[in-house]
Amino acid sequence: MASSYLNNQTEIYFLHGTSINSTVWNQSVVQSIGELFGYNPNRGGYLKLVDWSGANNTKARKDTCEGLLKEIDHRKNKLKNTPRKITLVGHSHGGSIVLHASKEIRDILGPESQINILSLNTPNVIVRLMRLLPEEVIIKQECYSKTVKERIGLGNP
């Protein structure tokens, strides 16, 4: 994968958890995660705090997942299928949405795009990851989560 596009087509989507809204994302955390994953608004980067109903039910999460996938597909078409780096950050049930979306994002974006998943306090995350991703990705996720937490100031995991 060529590294030349990693900073100019970086997209980051933040999804909050149940019963809250996007104001839960502290500006310094958003900025730190953005920097960690190569977000640069001066090079075509895109960052979105996704507001969804926050309702604690499967339909609300499924509808939000479908809306997120439609937006990613729309941006792909707008950018003329340029390989991109997409990071999905989800807290609590926002992480559930992220994990479900990750199953279909590769089909939308193609094999040249890089997809990062960061789930924070997501229920049953390891069980869900084992159903969705190859074992080597899960191992990388566990190791990487320590680095992310230290980098954004959440202390040692």
CATH 3.40.50 corresponds to the domain 3-151: yes
For 59-112, how does the pLDDT look when each residue is reduced to its tens digit (9 = 90+)? 999 999 999 999 999 888 887 756 678 899 999 889 889 988 887 888 888 777
Tokens at 132, concatenated: 């969705």
For 113-153, how does the pLDDT look when each residue is reduced to its tens digit (9 = 90+)? 788 888 888 776 555 555 555 444 444 444 445 445 555 45
Global pTM value = 0.76
3-state SS, one letter per residue, for the chain: CCHHHCCCCEEEEEECCCCCCHHHCCHHHHHHHHHHCCCCHHHCCEEEEECCCCCCCHHHHHHHHHHHHHHHHHHHHHCCCCCCEEEEEEECHHHHHHHHHHHHHHHHHCCCCEEEEEEECCCCHHHHHHHHCCHHHHHHHHHHHHHHHHHCCCCCC
Q: What is the mean pLDDT of residues 27-34?
A: 88
Domain boundaries, the chain: 3-151
User: Which residue do the tokens 């990705």 mark?
Assistant: 137
Query: Cα dist. 124→7, 16, 18, 48 in Å?
Result: 32, 17, 15, 25
Q: What is the dihedral of CA 6, 22, 98, 77, to 10 degrees?
A: -50
Q: How far apart are the first and last CA of the chain?
A: 30
Q: What is the pLDDT of residue 47?
A: 92
Per-residue pLDDT for 157 more than 70? no
Q: Which residue has the higher pLDDT, 110 or 7?
A: 110
Q: What is the pLDDT of residue 14?
A: 95
